[in-house]
Structure 1
């Protein structure tokens, strides 16, 4: 059977297509960061919406380190397969426009930061379910061979399929693969979420646990950590001195506060992702894989495709 679209009349409002003609990009911008823009796109073969990530390479023609980092993200994504990590479908370089393009799955509800702002009345049970899924994604990265440190985990880099309560870690542009000693050496990340040892340029994947703790704090408090600081220097001074963000004092749930504190502890005292998954904080929270199995069973003939699987 041919995989060509049934309608040869190119009536879809695509502004560009990939070299095979399978993926078409719309003009709708889903988000933009320091190095790339993300557009809504469509997979004509599968009949599903996807995300078209586009990087203008000419902006970095003199920055080989940045180019290597971009290619590294794509290489990393291609090697990963986990229900809590954004999946990559295709990548290519457009020589004519000098862009790097890659197609990833799209999460229908955007990033977790915006989703949480939109839904302010959320039970602690729901917050725990989201938090557990982030942790499962981290556990997958940290136990990957080689170990992968995300280094820029925050709520704007976690994405949501709100119709099934599924969250996925994305934006692996600053991720690092490390050797058997699990040690990395460069200073990267989002200041409010960076572990103190990141500034010392010698750290392990446990820095992601600190960032994860800050993510949980943001979910619970509805505040970005250290929002009381008006510049990066002040954040650095507080983080390096061990001063906790003011948002932590506003957390009324004793169990949640203790769990966050555990994630923000000194590097040697900080639990691994696997250990945190066994923490009493998640007692009674149904495993997300069980939820996925139930979802597949309930929607067996609904054509949900890769967006929700």
Structure 2
């Protein structure tokens, strides 16, 4: 029992039913090249070993060698991504921003504590999924599109190589969304040009924490350090933010190599 949920050129995601546990699951089918099977096996094995409440759980995987398809079975977060949640008419206030950010940081701290360290490098609201109660979140760490990132060869979403998920939560915009191509974005990221949308953040507390997150890597606080920041330790008073117009399309997660990524 399954039906198509979504997908792209090299991946399809189906909603299925686990008859043993009586729960819905996500069945992911990813096209791969024969030379990638060994690497995919290593990555899928590592992904399956991850066990944390803030990380979407991979329950099982197998290869269809004839069709060159990797199948993975993961948890299904039926309420969709945080991007969809935010643009579904849900008000974004300071308490929500703090709670969402805290849960994402908890997932990142777990990934960074692994040996070897797992670096996500594509944290955006499309890759954060909401549980059915609307309160709990799961971070997607997936093998997708057969596109792996090698050392010193960044292939993730450039505007999210630095932690800017909070900026997206508040403004409703992708950082550098007005850039015409990825090379233009890379140039701005590497030369330290801040996203124009940062000027739309009026709350000084949120702006301050975002400013900390987009500092150069050498002085940027770690996920563990950010969790100890007073901004995330205390919820404080609720105040509503003005967000920009929502982005039209909900993009799919980008590929990542969960063993060999390095933070820039």
TM-score, shorter chain, exceeding 0.5: yes
- Spell out the pairing of 1:266-277 with structure 2 (5 A cutoff): 266-277=216-227
Quote the offset at 1:94 in angstroms.
2.5
Aligned 8 A contact 1:152 1:189 in 2: yes
| CA distance in 2 between partners of 1:84 and 1:32 (Å) | 23
Quote the offset at 1:44 in angstroms.
0.2
Structure number with the higher helix fraction is 1
Is 1:249 the counterpart of 2:199? The answer is yes
1:33–1:71 CA distance, 2 compared to 1 (3 A): farther
1:165–1:84 CA distance, 2 compared to 1 (3 A): same
Aligned 8 A contact 1:151 1:188 in 2: no
Structure 1 match to 2:3? 27
| CA distance in 1 between partners of 2:53 and 2:101 (Å) | 14
1:37–1:68 CA distance, 2 compared to 1 (3 A): farther
- 5+ unaligned residues in a row in structure 1: which ranges? 1-13, 15-25, 175-182, 195-209, 287-309
Aligned 8 A contact 1:152 1:188 in 2: no
| CA distance in 2 between partners of 1:110 and 1:147 (Å) | 28
Highest relative contact order (Cα 8 Å, sep 6+), 1 or 2?
2
1:33–1:147 CA distance, 2 compared to 1 (3 A): farther
| CA distance in 2 between partners of 1:169 and 1:48 (Å) | 19
Aligned 8 A contact 1:150 1:172 in 2: no
2:111 to 118, 141, 145: 141
Aligned 8 A contact 1:39 1:52 in 2: yes
Q: Which secondary structure does the structure 1 equivalent of 2:78 belong to?
A: coil
Structure 1 match to 2:13? 38
Q: Which secondary structure does the structure 1 equivalent of 2:103 belong to?
A: helix
Structure 1 match to 2:254? none
TM-score, L = length of structure 1: 0.69
| CA distance in 2 between partners of 1:51 and 1:151 (Å) | 23
How many residues were matched structurally? 231
Over the aligned positions, Cα root-mean-square deviation in angstroms equals: 2.1
TM-score, L = length of structure 2: 0.81
- Spell out the pairing of 1:1-309 with structure 2 (5 A cutoff): 14=1, 26-29=2-5, 31-33=6-8, 35-57=10-32, 60-61=33-34, 64-65=35-36, 67-68=37-38, 70-173=40-143, 184-194=151-161, 210-211=162-163, 214-285=164-235
Aligned 8 A contact 1:52 1:101 in 2: yes
- 5+ unaligned residues in a row in structure 2: which ranges? 145-149, 237-264
